[in-house]
Amino acid sequence: MLKSVTKIAALAALGVCAMAATASAGDLVIESWRNDDAAIWKDQIIPAFQKGHPGINVTFSPTAPKEYNAALNAKLEGGTAGDIITCRPFDASLELFNKGYLASVNDLPNMKNFSDVAKAAWTTDDNKTTFCVPMGAVIHGFIYNKDIFKELSLAEPKTEADFYAVLDKIKADGKYTPLVMGTKDQWEAATMGFQNIGPNYWHGEDGRKGLIDGTQKFTDAPYVDTFKALAKWGPYMGDGYKAQAYPDSQNLFGLGKGAIYAAGSWDISTFHAQNVNMGAFPPPVPAGAKDCYISDHTDIGIGMNAKGKNTADAKVFLDWIGSEEFANIFANALPGFYPLSNAKVEVKDEVAQSFVSWRGQCKSTIRDSYQILSRGTPNMENELWTVSANVINGTQTPEDAAKQIQDGLAKWYKPQQK
């Protein structure tokens, strides 16, 4: 009985969704994976847009991040996707453009507000066509609990030596987990571990471009050294970190049980909601390094469904996304996502402000597996998740991990076969 009731309810809901999908002109539906931000879109961003464009109704309709790519592809192929598509960076969106699902945004007036670097993640290989408006970047670093640092009289570490000294002190005290991160979900190990501290070793863009043009190999010192640094993390990561999932990490730090959290800047709002008194420091520089580098990753863009029913309104909306007004709303409504436009933006959140301030001190780079290098089989990003977790778990040596990635890349990527 209960089952049939839920079935009917589900069918009714489906019917409503179907009706929403076949909405009339003047309505826009946004496809997105940012289900965490649904409230902010509904309460802040969309109302701000509608103030200036009262005739256009916008609905934000997110999917869970894990399912987004698969669900979006299915919807596009079936012709039921919304008019506005939130774009993953690089190849996932490039493929959608090549298949004719995303339209060019070259002719939007506000595209002049973006630099080539900002547009790179959503531009064809020949640099001719941009197919999504760059929306935001995320920055990697470490968030720390100020109260715990005060209690144990610790200072923000600048170098790697400082970093381990601080971790040792927290560990010796024994009350808090020194470094909050888990390896169960694997992407944490790759994203907040490898891609977070790595740029300091491979010198940001130099290393990333070197891998792409074949002048550097993953078995070179910078990459092996990054894995070697990761291999030291395990003992600081608290009991049972091997079965600690990402939400566990968030809760551990959010509840004040951990001192330092390997972060992406998007975590800021999560911890604000839990009232953590926090600060942030950039990835500590290795001994002897002069410059610092940060992962300042072009993570999120927004484009339009080329086969959508309402392209005129979609263009109006996308152009507004490229405006200074949007950049300011976005930066302050979602602390931890940084607008990519050249517009003057004032970030009011203190922690988000400190992340973005590193752009002035260090050189920015993006995650090295994102452009071109994850196009073949085996998939480099997936492999990086796996080996980064293995290295931290101590089940694979740094040299082995680097060799596995290099061999996988050399299997299909011509510039690496020399």
Partner 1 sequence: MSRAHYWRVLAFFLLPAVLVYSAFSVYPLLATIVDSFYLRHPGAPETFNGLGNFYTLLGDTTWSKPFWNAFGNNCLFFLIHMVVQNPIGLALAALLSLPQLRLRNTYRTLIFMPTMLSVVVIGFVWQLILSPLWGVWKSFLVALHLGFLFGPYLGQEHTALLTISLISVWQFVGIPMILIYTALLAIPDELVDAATVDGLNQWQTFFHVKLPLIWPTIGLVSVLTFVNNFNAFDLVYVMEGALAGPNYSSDIMGTLFYRTFFGNQLQLGDKTMGSTIATMMFLFILVGVMIYLFLIQRRMQRYSF
In this complex, which beta carbon is closest to partner 1, that of residue 44 or of residue 270? Answer: 270
Q: At what angle do helices 195-202 and 221-231 cross, to 10 degrees?
A: 140
In this complex, which beta carbon is closest to partner 1, that of residue 185 or of residue 313? Answer: 185
Contact flag: residue 186 with partner 1 (CB under 8 A): yes
Contacts with partner 1 by CB under 8 A: the residue count is 44
Give the nearest distance from C-beta 123 to partner 1 in angstroms.
Answer: 16
Enumerate residues 117-146 that contact partner 1 by CB under 8 A.
none
Among 90, 233, 326, 358, binds partner 1 (CB under 8 A): 90
Give the nearest distance from C-beta 89 to partner 1 in angstroms.
Answer: 9
Token pair for 364: 């920015």
Contact flag: residue 184 with partner 1 (CB under 8 A): yes
Contact flag: residue 183 with partner 1 (CB under 8 A): yes
Burial of residue 216 (CB within 10 Å: 0-12, 13-18, 19+) is buried
In this complex, which beta carbon is closest to partner 1, that of residue 221 or of residue 243? Answer: 243
In this complex, which beta carbon is closest to partner 1, that of residue 184 or of residue 359? Answer: 184
Contact flag: residue 267 with partner 1 (CB under 8 A): no
In this complex, which beta carbon is closest to partner 1, that of residue 130 or of residue 177? Answer: 177
Contact flag: residue 239 with partner 1 (CB under 8 A): yes
Among 244, 305, 310, 354, binds partner 1 (CB under 8 A): 244
Contact flag: residue 242 with partner 1 (CB under 8 A): yes
Contact flag: residue 216 with partner 1 (CB under 8 A): no
Among 35, 48, 173, 187, binds partner 1 (CB under 8 A): 187
Among 240, 274, 277, 342, binds partner 1 (CB under 8 A): 240
Q: From residue 50 to residue 79, what is the string marking binding to partner 1 with x (rule CB under 8 A)?
A: ----------------x--xx--x------
Among 248, 325, 349, 400, binds partner 1 (CB under 8 A): 248
Cα–Cα distance list, 21 to 56, 60, 282 (Å) = 15, 12, 44
Give the nearest distance from C-beta 280 to partner 1 in angstroms.
Answer: 24
Give the nearest distance from C-beta 129 to partner 1 in angstroms.
Answer: 13
The stretch among 23-31, 93-101, 225-233, 308-316 that binds partner 1 (CB under 8 A) is 93-101
CA-CA-CA-CA torsion sign (196, 202, 203, 204): negative
Contact flag: residue 252 with partner 1 (CB under 8 A): yes
Among 33, 49, 122, 370, binds partner 1 (CB under 8 A): 370
d(CA 172, CA 190): 27
Give the nearest distance from C-beta 78 to partner 1 in angstroms.
Answer: 14
Contact flag: residue 293 with partner 1 (CB under 8 A): no
Contact flag: residue 245 with partner 1 (CB under 8 A): yes
For partner 1, the binding residues (CB under 8 A) are 66, 69-70, 73, 90-92, 95, 98-99, 182-187, 239-245, 248, 251-252, 369-370, 374, 377-382, 385-386, 389-390, 393, 395-396, 408, 411
